[in-house]
Every structure is written in C-alpha cells, then in structure tokens.
Structure 1
Amino acid sequence: MTDLNDVLKKHVGDGAAPGAVGLVARGDRAEVVAVGSADVEGAVPMGRDSIFRIASMTKPVTAAAVMMLVEDGRIALNEPVRQWLPELAAPMVVRTPASPADDVVPADRVITVEDLLTFRAGYGFPSDFSLPAVRLLFSELKQGPPQPQLVPAPDAWMDALSRIPLLHQPGEEWLYNTCSDILGVLIARVSDRSLPEFLAERLFEPLGMTDTGFAVPAAKADRFAGYYRADPEGGGLLLVDAPDGQWARVPAFPSGAGGLVSTADDWYAFARMLLAGGDGGSGDGRRVLSEESVRLMTTDHLTQAQRDSGRLFLEGQGWGYGGSVDVEAIDPWNVPGRYGWVGGTGTAGHLTPATGAVSILLTQLEMAGPTPPPLMREFWRYAAGA
C-alpha cells in the first residue's frame, strides 16, 4: 500500500525537487514525512523543521490579518480603501483589457476592502500576461516570482501602483496576486505597524509559529532550504536563492502576496486555527479570529463567469479571502469546501473545514507556471484518499 513516503520519494532527485516535506492530517492525527535534501548537492538532509520560502501560501495569512482589523473595528469589508490608500482614491481603468496603458476611463466605483480580499479590485494577472497594463505590474511593481530585495518600499510601491490603470472595473473580474500585496500595505497603514510586526504580534506569536516571517536569521540558516528552478538548457537545476540570499534580512517591501518563509508545522498551526473556527489553541479561551471571519475566508465569493475567466490559475475552483475554495469534485483531489493555495516556489497548503483535514507540501523547486506539477497533484490525491 502506497504511503506518503513513497509519494514524495517518487518525485525527489534526478532533476526533480532535491527534497520535500509533506504533512497530511486527518482529525488529530498528522502524518509528516521529510525526504531528500535541502540542497541540490545533498549535503544537508531535509528535516521536518526545514524552512521554505512559501510564496503564495502567504496569501491566506494576509487575509486572516485583514479580518483581524475588521473584527477590531478599524476597517469594514464594504469600506472604500481610499482613506488608507489615497493612491487608489480615483483609479483609472483601461478602455479594454488590450488597450494601451494611457487609453483609460474613470473607474465606475471605489475599491473596497472586500474587492481586495476577493481579488476583484481590477489589479492583477489575467490569462494573458502580455497585455500592456499587465506588463507594468511586472516592470514597475516587480510582480511575479518573489524577489524581496528588489522591490521598493511600500510608499514608493503604492506611488508606482497609482500610475498603473486597472485592467477591469472594480468587482468585475478575478485577477491574480496583486491584491494581496496591496492588502499588506493596507494592514500596515491601518494598524500603524509594519506588516512583519503586525503578523508577528497578532498571528505568529499567539499560534506558536516560531519559524515564520519575512526573513531567516543567521542562527536558523542551517535549516533554510535552497531555492531552485529547472535549467531550460538541460536536465539540471539552477540555484535561484541560497540560504544567505534575499531572505537573509527583512526586505523594504514585505510582500503580503508571497514574502513569507515557514515550516510545515508552522503553517499547520495556522490551518488548525482556521479549522477550530478561529480558536488560537492556547488553552486560555483566546480567539485569534471569529467563526464568522473564518467562514467568510473559506467561502467561495466568485460568480461562475469569474471562476471561468480565472481558470488558468483556479482550474475551476472558486476563491474565498486569500485562497481558493473547491466548489466541486472536478478531479480526484478536489474536495468540495477545501480551502488554501499553492506557492510558486513549489509549495501548497490546504484545509477542509467540513472534515478537519489538512495537507501541506513544501519543496524548493520553482513551479514552471500556474499548472501544479505532478508531485503536487499526486500528493493531493494521496491526501484526499483517492
């Protein structure tokens, strides 16, 4: 009978991911396996406590932080963000998605907090990355694969964003990625704390997520996996970032879309909090989030047309706040109600509120595109019992 160790080892080494950590929890029982090595040379064995760049697995964490501010009464879901983000007070929209970036019309309405949480604010990636307004997201905002030390500080970043038109009217279409980075700036401005400080104080410390943050201190560098991508010229791997590279210090722009590092057990603590309806698990009755906030995060908010237009990324799934929601059993690994997301650095984290299941896969091999690689799909199939 195939076990998790078999699933992971099948896809490790020989030009694939150098190593992997997988966690599959059903109820109170968690199966955790670490295979391979943290580096391509095989000098550092992969461990359960290995630290990874989790990329877009950051997005649900950012959404949870926003919901904390909603519960604090600092912001409201239907509130325009212009009070906190004046750069977005009067956004312009390209006349058509393919129009030049200077062929614009005024937005029909203001951008709200919920527009950002549901990725329907008008900023982000469609299926066609070559559109003029989309190209600006890459060139001016450094959107795309995480490169934390190359992105300007939040105020300068927002100033650049204010000169980029929306691709669609607010509320009209689901577009990937950029809204989570905007939410990171929103959290900092509303809370009057930096994003790393707010997340540490309100989420990471209460949940015991001791290895999660926007940088890896030197004392933990021996547990930090390298980051690789497939060499287009051959069958080997290219080093993108070493343990002493771009995550060695907190960047000027802490990315709410993809900047965190974490471990399997840390993200599992976050998932358990959501499964418990916001209970922080401290034993003192303190809640991190309300059950209603968790319900809103893990509920699909898209129309069928919006799910269809975002199919390149969503593959038919819906979207809650900061993560996808399986709306039907499209494939053997799709479990209706499953919430979570994948990271372009080769990671994935999901939870299913109805069953209490959690699945977390961490590798250090960059995804070649939005389509999940074979290891990820086979891992999900195993986690779903398919």
Structure 2
Amino acid sequence: MLAPTSPESVGMSKACFDRIEAHLKSRYVDAGRFPGTQLVVYRRGKVAHSAVQGFADLERKAPLRDDTIFRIYSMTKPITSVAFMMLVEEGRVALDEPVHKYIPEWKNLGVFVAGTAPAFLTRPPSRPMLIVDLLRHTSGLTYGFQQRSNVDAAYREQKIGDVVKAGTLDSMIADLAKIPLEFSPGEAWNYSVSTDVIGYLIGKISGMPFEQFLKTRIFDPLGMADTDFFVPAAKASRFAACYSADPPGAMTFHATERKGTLTLQDDPATSSFLAPPDLVSGGGGLCSTASDYLTFCRALLNGGELGGVRLLGPKTLKLMTSNHLPGGRDLPELSRSLFSEATYNGIGFGLGFSVTMDPAKTLIAGSPGEYAWGGAATTSFWIDPAEELAVIFMTQVLPSSAYPIRRELRSMIYSAITDSNL
C-alpha cells in the first residue's frame, strides 16, 4: 500500500475520516454486522486515508491487516471488461458484432414465453445478441439468484453463476445454449452472467486461457501480485473468512430484516478459493487486496496508464465509462433485476461499470461521470475523475444488500472534501 499523506494536503478533512472510522466501528464492527473493515481513499495522486479495524477471521481472532486478501466477487467484472476492451483496441473484436460469431451454438437462442426446463416455449429475439449487450448487461441472460422467473430457476438447476462455481467455462456456454433468454437483447437491463461470457470470449479471441490473459496483460505488468482466481498456500494465512448476514449462512439478496449477527459462510482454511477453480469466472471469481485494487483504480483514474504500463487509451476508457443503456435511460427505468450492485435513480451503466449521470437524482453527493461497482461480499469501489478520487472498501459479508454501507460511505467521504474541483 502507498504511504498515506496528510488528508489536508489533498483537500480532505482528517476529522471527517475519524468520524467515518468511528461510524464503521460502532455501527458495524462492534455491533457484529461486519467482522472488520478496510477503507482506502485516494485523491490527487496520494492516499488520503487508509485504515483497518476488526477481524479478518472471527473464529481464529485474526486481525484484519493492510495485506488481507478478500473475495472481491463482482469487482472482478470491471477488470474483465477492461481486458476485453484491450482486445477491441487491438482490432481483434468489435462491440457491434453478434455474439454467435464467436459462440455459434447460440445463434438460435430464443426468448422465453412460457414453460419450464427443458420444455420452454420461446420466440425469436427481435435482433441478435451483440458483444456490447454482454458488457452492459442487456443480453437477456440472468443470474439464478434473481429468483424472478422460470429462466432463473433453470440457471439454479444447472448451477450457472452460483457463488460456488460448478463446471467449466466451456460447460457453462454449452448449458446456456439450452436455456432461453429473459428478453430480447437490448430491450432491458438485467444483472447476469454476461461478464463470465466476456471472460470466455477473451480466451477464445486471444488464444490463451482467460486467467493467463489477465495475469500477463494486467496483473503482472501493474504489479498486482495478490490478485488471482485462487489463494496459494503461501498466502493462505492472509485470506479472510467470509460471513453471511442471513442465518444459517444462506444468502437472501432481496430486502429483509437483518438481526446484526454473522454466520460463517466460507472458512479460509477449507475454502474452494485455496485451489485453482475449474470455472474461471470473469464475473465474480477473483480474490485481491485493497492495495492491488487501488493499483487498478489508479491506472483507470490516470486515463488507462500507470507507471509506464498502459492498459487502455483515454478515449476507450471514456467510452467504457459513458452510459450505454438504450435511450440514455438509467438503471431503475430499464432494469428487470431484482438485485444488482447499484440501483439508484440517475445512474446508468457503461461497459463494465455503473455510471453516475445525475447526482441530484441519486440523492447522494457525487459527480457526473463517476463510475463504480461492488461485490457480493460487500466490497465496493468508485472512481470520480472530476475530483481525482478513488475509494475502495473491503469487508466479507454476504449479501451486499444487507446494509446501506455504500450509501453511507459516499455521503461521508464526499463530506470530507474541503477543496472541490467542481
């Protein structure tokens, strides 16, 4: 981790950061809602705040540390999306190409009308699924945990997109060929396994395994040594436990009353993340540290380049962080999801990130052009180019919808800015 500087030197308030940490301690850690927290705030090229508190592992009383390794789940999606756009920049694939060009068995995918697996009644889509639909979640694919339709049920039956992964990328693609789409591509937004499909395409188009592409093109060049799809034995002592806010360790992704108690969901001593996975999930498979993810965010905040390593050109990054929802609409207007990592009014979706269009509609302080996402275990990040700001929050509690921590942090961190660029 970069050494913190004085918050005042980058136009932020130490008193506000002290208040944030006290809030995290009293409302979440001491109250038993979170085992521990890590918060990193980066502004104007410096770390303005970096703090850890509580435990990485409650059962073993292991304190949370700066180098604790977390399951970042869907914070994998922006990394996968950046990797794919590297191939776009190289002219190897285009956003307006049909997905069936690369996955021929998907050419005749129908749209759900009625029925249950395997006897679905379908209709033809109004247009083919395009690559851009995968990146912006307008593909018609879904997640089983949405629990909204018979299509979701078919995903659950096949264990497609589960937190505990089953099968391989190849078998997932083959299984999806047998399940209809929720809707015709481009008609709606639905949080889905689309980014896992992007990971599959990266492997197919690049000619190397997806995980190898990330390692050789992003992680190794940037020095993200603790980011991978598994935690090796030499680092296992740094791996956090993961908890559920829903006894007895279940995951209810929808609104419900939590009692402030934690159930161990994934023991770091026996976790499936201790070995390379069969299914390498570009939608939710990575483990990382706050320091590594800050390195990734710094590259994005710097226009796609860090320390002489360029991932993307600034114009490509600008394209990715523009709202791509049809008609310029926001997520609540177009979404059919019962769950996502962002559902506020005034927020659209780009190519791998949520994008703030109008902070006044979100009713939360911020800037137009911010982009962000989070993970199922309540990790989150956002980048505000206008304020030269990046924020990373880490804990390990499923689901991310259990508590309004992201909303609280946004309000409190923006209140710490004393010298705004706007």
The TM-score with structure 1 as length reference comes to 0.91
Query: Which of 32, 37, 40 in structure 2 is aligned with 1:20?
Result: 37
Counterpart CA distance in 2 for 1:93 and 1:127 is: 19
The number of aligned residues is 376
Deviation, 1:296, is: 1.4
Aligned residue in 2 for 1:350:
382
Q: Deviations over 1:157-197 (max 9, x none)?
A: 11100001011111111110211111111111111211111
Query: Which of 25, 43, 47 in structure 1 is aligned with 2:65?
Result: 47
Kept in 1: contact 2:322–2:355 (CA 8 A): yes
Aligned residue in 1 for 2:190:
175
Aligned to 1:341, what secondary structure does the other structure show?
strand
Q: Deviations over 1:361-384 (max 9, x none)?
A: 00011126xx36233322222222
Q: Which amino acid aligns with 1:299?
A: S
Counterpart CA distance in 1 for 2:237 and 2:198 is: 32
Query: Which of 102, 117, 127 in structure 1 is aligned with 2:135?
Result: 117
Q: Greater shift after overlay, 263-272 or 105-114?
A: 105-114
Aligned residue in 2 for 1:184:
199
Q: Which amino acid aligns with 1:239?
A: L
Aligned residue in 1 for 2:293:
267
Counterpart CA distance in 1 for 2:145 and 2:67 is: 36
Aligned residue in 2 for 1:325:
355
Aligned residue in 2 for 1:336:
368
- Aligned-residue sequence identity (percent) comes to 36
Q: Which amino acid aligns with 1:104?
A: T
Pair 1:293 & 2:316 matched: yes
Aligned to 2:56, what secondary structure does the other structure show?
coil
Kept in 2: contact 1:348–1:360 (CA 8 A): yes
Aligned residue in 2 for 1:105:
123
Kept in 1: contact 2:72–2:286 (CA 8 A): yes
Aligned residue in 2 for 1:241:
266
Q: Greater shift after overlay, 311-320 or 260-269?
A: 311-320
Query: Which of 404, 407, 422 in structure 2 is aligned with 1:377?
Result: 407
Pairs within 5 Å for 1:53-202? 53-95=71-113, 100=116, 102-125=120-143, 129-144=147-162, 146-148=163-165, 151-202=166-217
Pair 1:9 & 2:25 matched: yes
Kept in 2: contact 1:56–1:342 (CA 8 A): yes
Q: Greater shift after overlay, 374-383 or 221-230?
A: 374-383
Structure 1 residues 128 and 211, CA gap change in structure 2 (3 angstroms): closer
Kept in 2: contact 1:298–1:325 (CA 8 A): yes
Q: Which runs of 5+ in 2 are unaligned?
A: 1-14, 249-258, 417-422
Counterpart CA distance in 1 for 2:302 and 2:330 is: 32
The TM-score with structure 2 as length reference comes to 0.84
Q: Which amino acid aligns with 2:210?
A: L
Kept in 2: contact 1:212–1:260 (CA 8 A): yes
Structure 1 residues 167 and 70, CA gap change in structure 2 (3 angstroms): same
Counterpart CA distance in 2 for 1:253 and 1:191 is: 18
Counterpart CA distance in 1 for 2:284 and 2:369 is: 23
Kept in 1: contact 2:144–2:154 (CA 8 A): no
Counterpart CA distance in 1 for 2:330 and 2:299 is: 32
Counterpart CA distance in 2 for 1:14 and 1:218 is: 32
Counterpart CA distance in 1 for 2:161 and 2:366 is: 28
Query: Which of 303, 309, 318 in structure 2 is aligned with 1:277?
Result: 303
Query: Which of 186, 209, 222 in structure 2 is aligned with 1:207?
Result: 222
Structure 1 residues 129 and 211, CA gap change in structure 2 (3 angstroms): same
Aligned residue in 2 for 1:257:
283
Counterpart CA distance in 2 for 1:26 and 1:358 is: 6
Counterpart CA distance in 1 for 2:115 and 2:349 is: 27
Counterpart CA distance in 2 for 1:163 and 1:94 is: 12
Counterpart CA distance in 2 for 1:219 and 1:19 is: 23
Kept in 2: contact 1:7–1:378 (CA 8 A): no
Q: Which amino acid aligns with 1:331?
A: L
Counterpart CA distance in 2 for 1:335 and 1:127 is: 32
Q: Which runs of 5+ in 1 are unaligned?
A: none
Counterpart CA distance in 1 for 2:284 and 2:146 is: 21
Kept in 2: contact 1:327–1:336 (CA 8 A): yes
Structure 1 residues 160 and 125, CA gap change in structure 2 (3 angstroms): closer
Kept in 1: contact 2:16–2:415 (CA 8 A): no
Query: Which of 225, 244, 262 in structure 1 is aligned with 2:240?
Result: 225
Q: Which amino acid aligns with 2:319?
A: L
Q: Deviations over 1:276-310 (max 9, x none)?
A: 1111x223xx4211112111111111132754132
Deviation, 1:142, is: 3.0
Aligned residue in 1 for 2:419:
none
Structure 1 residues 161 and 127, CA gap change in structure 2 (3 angstroms): closer
Aligned to 1:94, what secondary structure does the other structure show?
strand
Counterpart CA distance in 2 for 1:124 and 1:34 is: 35
